[in-house]
Structure 1
Amino acid sequence: MEGMSSRISCPTLRTRVMPADAAAALIENGDNVGISGFTGAGYPKAVPTALHDRMTAAHERGEEFRIGLWTGASTAPDADGVLARAHGVGTRLPYNSDPTMRALINSGEVDYIDAHLSHSAQHMWFGFYGRLDVAVVEVTAILPGGLLVPSSSVGNNKTWLEQADRVILEVNHWQPREFEGFHDVYYGTALPPHRRPLELTEPMQRIGEPYLRVDPAKVVAVVETDRADRNSPFSAPDATSAAIAEHVVAFLRAEVAAGRMPENLLPLQSGVGNVANAVLAGLDASDFTDLVAFTEVIQDGMLDLLDSGTLRAASATSFGLSDVGVARFMENISAYKGRILLRSEEISNHPELVRRLGVIAMNGLLEADIYGNVNSTHVMGSAIMNGIGGSGDFARNAFLNFFLTPSTAKNGAISAIVPMVSHVDHTEHDVHVIVTEHGLADLRGLSPRARAVRIIEQCADPRFRPALLDYTERAWAQRPDARHTPHLLDEALSWHQRYLDTGSMGTDH
Structure 2
Amino acid sequence: MTLADRVRYADFHSRIMSAEDAAALIPAGGNVGMSGFTGAGYPKAIPQALARRIEAERAAGRPFRVSVWTGASTAPELDGALAQVDGIEMRLPFQSDPVCRDKINTGQMHFSDMHLSHVAQHAWFGFLGRLDVAVVEVLGILPDGRLIPSTAVGNNKTWLDLADKVILEVNTQVPEQMDGMHDIYYGTAVPPHRKPIPMTQPHERIGEPYLRVDPAKVVAVVATHQGDRNTRFAAPDAVSNQIAGHIIDFLQHEVRQGRLPRDLLPLQSGVGNVANAVLAGLLTGPFENLTGFTEVLQDGMLELIKSGKMVSASATAISLSSAALADFHANIDFYRERILLRPQEISNHPELVRRLGIIAMNAMIEADIYGNVNSTHLMGSSMMNGIGGSGDFARNSYLSFFVTPSVAKGGAISCIVPMCSHVDHTEHDVQILVTEQGLADLRGLSPRQRAQVIIDRCAHPDFRPLLQDYFDRAQRAGGQHTPHILGEALSWHQRCLATGSMRP
Q: Do both share a fold (TM > 0.5)?
A: yes
Q: Tell me if structure 2 keeps the 8 A contact 1:72–1:94.
A: yes
Q: Tell me if 1:301 matches 2:300.
A: yes
Q: List per-residue Cα deviations over 1:298-337 (Å, max 9, x = no partner).
A: 1111111111111111000001100111101000000111
Quote the residue 1:452 is aligned against.
Answer: 451
Give the structure 2 partner of residue 42 of structure 1.
Answer: 41
Matched, 1:484 2:481: yes
Q: What is the TM-score with the length of structure 1 in the denominator?
A: 0.99
Query: Aligned residue for 2:470?
Result: 471
Q: Secondary structure at the match of 2:223?
A: strand
> Which residue in the other structure is 2:350 paired with?
351
1:62-87 superposed Cα distances (whole Å, 9 cap, x missing partner): 10200010000000000110000111
Unaligned runs of 5+ in 1: none
1:382 aligned residue = 381
Asked whether the 8 Å contact 2:67–2:88 carries over to 1, the reply is yes
Query: 2:460 & 2:13 partners in 1: Cα distance?
Result: 60
Q: Which moved more, 1:227-236 or 1:451-460?
A: 227-236
CA deviations on 1:432-470 (whole Å, 9 max, x unpaired) are 000000100000010000000000000000000001000
Aligned to 1:497: 494
Q: Secondary structure at the match of 1:6?
A: helix
Cα offset, 1:365, TM superposition: 0.3
User: Contact conserved, 2:374 with 2:422, CA < 8 A, in 1?
Assistant: yes
Q: Take 1:129 and 1:144, find their aligned partners in 2: how far apart are those partners?
A: 34
Structure 1 stretches of at least 4 aligned residues deviating more than 4 Å after TM superposition: none
Whole-angstrom distance in 1 between the partners of 2:414 and 2:192 = 45
Instruction: Measure, in 2, the Cα distance between the counterparts of 1:381 and 1:103.
Output: 15
Rounded to whole Å, the distance in 2 between the matches of 1:251 and 1:215 is: 50
Alignment-mate amino acid for residue 495 of structure 1 = W
Distance in 2 (CA, whole Å) between partners of 1:4 and 1:443 is 55
Distance apart, 1:194 and its partner CA: 1.9
1:370–1:455 CA contact under 8 A, matched in 2: yes
Q: Deviations over 1:466-486 (max 9, x none)?
A: 01000001000012xx10001
Matching of residue 440 in structure 1 with residue 407 in structure 2: no
Partner SS for 1:397? coil
Aligned twin of 1:198: 197
Find the counterpart in structure 2 of residue 73 from structure 1: 72
Structure 2: how far apart are the matches of 1:420 and 1:74? Answer: 29
For the Cα contact (< 8 Å) 1:5–1:224, is it kept in 2?
no
DSSP 3-state at the match of 1:251: helix
Alignment partners' CA distance in 2, 1:230 and 1:68: 22
Contact 2:3-2:172 at 8 Å conserved across structures: no
Task: Count matched residues.
Answer: 504
Once residues 392 and 337 of structure 2 are traced to their aligned partners in structure 1, the CA distance between those partners, rounded to angstroms, is: 25
Give the CA RMSD over aligned residues.
0.6
Aligned to 1:149: 148
- Structure 2 counterpart of 1:226, one-letter code: H
What is the correspondence of 1:225-374 to structure 2 with a 5 Å cutoff? 225-374=224-373
Partner of 1:424: 423
Q: Distance in 2 between matches of 1:193 and 1:400?
A: 31
Contact 1:9 1:143 in 2 (8 A): yes
Residues 396-426 of structure 1 deviation map (CA, whole Å, 9 limit, x = unaligned): 0000000010000000010000000000000
CA deviations over 1:240-277 (Å, ceiling 9, x no partner): 00000000000000000000010000000000000000
Note the 1:384-423 alignment, pairs <5 A: 384-423=383-422
**Identity rate of aligned residues, in percent?**
64
SS at match of 2:4: coil
1:145/1:216 contact within 8 Å kept: no
Structure 2 alignment gaps of length 5 or more: none
Cα distance in 2 for residues equivalent to 1:386 and 1:504: 22
Amino acid at match of 1:5: A
Given residue 486 of structure 1, which amino acid in structure 2 is its aligned partner?
Answer: P
Partner Cα distance (2:237, 2:481) in 1: 38
Aligned to 2:119: 120
What residue in structure 2 maps to residue 184 of structure 1?
183
Aligned to 1:25: 24
Q: Does the 8 A contact of 2:2 with 2:172 survive in 1?
A: no
CA contact (8 A) 1:269 1:294 kept: yes
CA distance in 2, matches of 1:443, 1:17: 57
Find the aligned partners of 1:463 and 1:228 in 2 and give their Cα distance.
45
Moved more, 188-197 or 377-386: 188-197
- Is the Cα contact below 8 Å between 1:268 and 1:360 reproduced in 2? yes
- Secondary structure at the aligned position of 1:232 is classed as coil
Q: How much does 1:498 deviate?
A: 0.3
